[in-house]
């Protein structure tokens, strides 16, 4: 026989265009978790490079997950980003609906505000989805030549 709804009708099959998964808004991003510690060698430029291939967010249109390798490079001025707090911050993107290019901008702005570096670059190398590969990046400040 088959399943029926409360009105005794058979539900219509969902198409890909009808399907949508729950998506959280930008308010779910946990910027307050970010911590820093003092850079003990001011005036001595050091390049800090961090990457993780465990970044995920979701497409705000479809709710489908986007997976990326996030690369963060910066030259600290007075503060260094504490890595545990960075992991928690990046994890807060897990169910947030944000376009790939906007995620890069948001991560860069939040991190630059957190540690006020001399220079910073954030890039996201997204896994191929639907045959399309995307890499988005943005720089903040000025890197010495």
Helix (H, G, I), strand (E, B) or coil at 77: coil
Residues 66, 110, 114, 115: which is the catalytic one?
66
Contact of 68 with 126, CB cutoff 8 Å: yes
The yes-or-no verdict on residue 48 having pLDDT over 90 is yes
Region 23-49: what's the mean pLDDT?
94
CA–CA gap between residue 118 and residue 120 (Å, rounded): 7
The yes-or-no verdict on residue 11 having pLDDT over 70 is no
Q: What's the CATH number for 26-141?
A: 3.30.1130.10
Q: Name which of 142, 58, 145 is nearest 103 in CA terms.
A: 58
Indicate the average pLDDT of the chain. 90
Residues 18, 30, 32, 59: which is the catalytic one?
59
The yes-or-no verdict on residue 18 having pLDDT over 80 is no
Query: Which carries the bigger pLDDT value, residue 118 or residue 15?
Result: 118
Q: Is 59 a catalytic residue?
A: yes
The yes-or-no verdict on residue 16 having pLDDT over 90 is no
Phi, psi (degrees; rounded to nearest 5) at 69: -95, 120
Q: Name which of 139, 141, 143, 137 is nearest 69 in CA terms.
A: 137
Q: Each residue of 82-117: pLDDT tens digit?
A: 999 999 999 999 999 999 999 999 999 999 999 999
Helix (H, G, I), strand (E, B) or coil at 54: strand
The domains of the chain are located at: 26-141
**Look-up: residue for tokens 């399943």?**
3
């Amino acid at each position: 026989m088959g399943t029926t709804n409360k009105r005794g009708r058979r539900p219509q099959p969902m198409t890909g265009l009808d399907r949508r998964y729950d998506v959280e808004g930008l308010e779910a991003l946990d910027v307050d978790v970010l911590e820093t510690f003092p850079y003990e060698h001011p005036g001595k430029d050091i390049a800090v490079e961090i990457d993780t291939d465990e970044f995920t967010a979701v497409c705000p249109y479809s709710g489908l997950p986007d997976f990326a390798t996030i690369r963060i490079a910066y030259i600290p001025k007075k503060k260094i980003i504490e890595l545990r707090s960075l992991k928690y911050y990046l994890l807060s993107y897990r169910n947030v609906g944000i376009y790939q290019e906007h995620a890069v901008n948001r991560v860069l702005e939040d991190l630059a505000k957190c540690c006020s570096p001399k220079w910073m670059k954030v890039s996201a190398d997204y896994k191929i989805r639907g045959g399309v590969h995307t890499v988005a990046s943005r720089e903040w400040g000025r890197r010495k030549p």
